[in-house]
Amino acid sequence: MFDTGMLELLGKGILETLYMTVVSTALAYVFGLPLGVVLCITDKNGVFPIPAVNKLLGFIINFLRSVPFLILLVFILPFTRAIVGTTIGSTATIVPLVVAAFPFVARMVESSLKEVDGGVIEAAQSMGSSTFQIVYKVLIPEAKPSLIVGAAIAITTILGHSAMAGFVGGGGLGTIAVNYGYYRYQRDVMTVTVILLVIIVQVFQEIGMRIARLSDKRIK
């Protein structure tokens, strides 16, 4: 049985994990969503093709995605310190989480937008819609269910990364699992943190899938 101190620590770990995950996901979409849109429309088959821009952005995004999260986390420690003033704790972990996640989000958004039926886009173009109108009134609304599913996948991926950050004092359940379950060999603590992480992932995934189904006009 866990004592009161451990239960309070686990409660704090859950809140820190949710804080890191939700804030990091929101910020990743602030950067990743516009990039995904630009990648889609500047493609050679896009509504505003600019191959040079598309290739440059694609190279940068692929480069960032190819760096393992733990290596990226350590590599950008000076940048993290410059942004938030520290390199440990849940707030500091948000910086590398966003850097690691926004390229992934951009590719997810690009993929979702490219699933939109070309006939719908052509119809909008034939009515004289501008590129911005096509993006805002056609691409994003038509791709909404896929975008929401992508967001559910992104938030669970970011949650996994936040747990890995525990190895460098990132806060949340990951740090509890490392400090108590790994270094102190308390397997019961490790087991509980794993179960809690699985539950949080399932909750996020289920919420995302339900919202996606509700927003899919093809199911109604």
Closest CA relative to residue 175, chosen from 187, 186, 184, 164: 164
CATH number of 4-215: 1.10.3720.10
**pTM assigned to the model:** 0.90
pLDDT single digits (tens) 139-171: 999 999 999 999 999 999 999 898 888 877 788
pLDDT single digits (tens) 26-79: 999 999 999 999 999 999 888 999 999 999 999 999 999 999 998 999 899 999
Rounded distance between C-alpha atoms, residue 55 and residue 129, angstroms: 26
Listed in sequence order, the residues at least 6 apart from 136 whose beta carbon sits closer than 8 Å to its beta carbon are none
43-52, 86-95, 105-114, 211-220: lowest mean pLDDT where? 211-220
- Domain ranges for the chain, please list them: 4-215
